[in-house]
Amino acid sequence: KRLKHLIHTLPKAELHLHIEGSLEPQLMWDLAQKHNIALPFANVEAIQSAYQFENLQNFLDLYYQGADVLRDEDDFFALMWAYLCKCYEQNIVHTEIMFDPQTHTQRGIDYAVFMPGFARAIQKAKAEFGMSVYLILSFLRHLSELSALEALADARPYYSMITAVGLDSSELGNPPSKFTHVFAQAKELGFKLVAHAGEEGPPEYVWEALELLRVDRIDHGVRSIEDSSLMAYLKEQQIPLTVCPLSNLKLRVVNEMSQHNIIQLLDDGLLVTVNSDDPSYFGGYLDDNFHALAHHLSLSEQALAQLVCNSFTASFLPESQKQHWL
Ligand code: HPA
Ligand code: ZN
């Protein structure tokens, strides 16, 4: 009870959230109606019940299909606004949001459509809720590095809206080493760097993200536990891991929440944070992820406080603003 109250009331930051993964079935349905798009579902409930996954790829297929209903600026505004309202309800005071430009540009929707939609929602949330919002441009790793270079170049008019670049989509077979040039270029441009690694992929991919891409944070990274020298490095350097418990359960990275290693990673001294990843698809927002840990992993108040502090420490906020929340 007291823990649940704390989970809700503590000011929190969220650092691993794909905006396309916050598209709720109801909004997907409404936008399909609006644009006369035929969905392969009979109703909203049928969309919801299709969300049973065997692995990452299985989820990604539905996730990219779902994103196809996003067509005009108002759609991207509605998507972003809905998530920022969820943040406000959960006392998330700072969020760093990933978006996948190639998911949209590949189907003929360009930056000039989605960026103004995002910008409008972010301005409104800043004004009405006083929250801070950063954007992370994420490259799709199943596409070529050339495509990622184009995505970075095409974002040029919007660089001032973007804090970091990231790497997501199908991990196995698409190692970080495939993207060394585009990450070097992004670093040169002054962006912070993150990459998904060690979700389904091996610890070697985490090493590559650190040593070849020079990332500031690892998204997921839960498989790092298989490599003791990597664990020592992550601890010593205090490299943040943005862990997503419900995502790991839904995508069968773990079989049971009670077997999740997040508390062990925390106890080993790593800078781990809790995040929701794709809340609409994985059965819950940030609060629900903390509740799952409280239920299945006997989360202590101290561990909760540490995880919440870590969310600010691991953020890209300037030092003075981090201190304000710590
Ligand atoms: N992993 C990889 N790619 C993704 C994810 C994820 O958890 N969510 C959205 N794109
Ligand atoms: Zn993710």
Dist. CA 165 → ligand 2 center (Å) = 13
| Structural Rg of the chain based on CA atoms | 18
pLDDT digits (tens, 9 = 90+) for 116-160: 999 999 999 999 999 999 999 999 999 999 999 999 999 999 999
pLDDT above 90 for 1: no
- Measured distance between the N- and C-terminal CA atoms of the chain, rounded to whole angstroms: 24
Q: Does ligand 1 have an atom closer than 6 angstroms to the CB of 169?
A: yes
* CA dist., res. 28 & res. 24, Å (int): 6
pLDDT of residue 151: 98
Positions annotated as catalytic residues are 199
* CA dist., res. 281 & res. 24, Å (int): 8
pLDDT above 90 for 298: no
pLDDT above 90 for 232: yes
* CA dist., res. 235 & res. 87, Å (int): 29
Quote the mean pLDDT of the chain.
97
Dist. CA 17 → ligand 1 center (Å) = 9
Q: Quote helix, strand, coil % in the chain, to nearest 5.
A: 55, 15, 30
Report CA dihedral (110, 220, 52, 287) to the nearest 10 degrees. -90
pTM: 0.98
Dist. CA 78 → ligand 1 center (Å) = 21
Q: What is the mean pLDDT of residues 183-199?
A: 98
**Which sign, positive or negative, has the C-alpha torsion 246, 10, 319, 160?**
positive
pLDDT above 90 for 7: yes
Q: What is the mean pLDDT of residues 40-63?
A: 96
Band of pLDDT at residue 237, cut at 50, 70 and 90 = very high
pLDDT of residue 290: 98
141 CA closest ligand 1 atom index:
3
Q: Does ligand 1 have an atom closer than 6 angstroms to the CB of 168?
A: yes
Q: Among 131, 135, 96, which residue's Cα sits nearest to residue 15?
A: 96
Q: Which two tokens stand for residue 91?
A: 């006392």
Whole-angstrom CA distances from 250 to 28, 123, 247 are 20, 33, 5
Q: Does ligand 1 have an atom closer than 6 angstroms to the CB of 192?
A: no
- Check: CB of residue 137 under 8 Å from CB of residue 162: yes
| All domains of the chain in start order, with CATH | 2-325 (3.20.20.140)
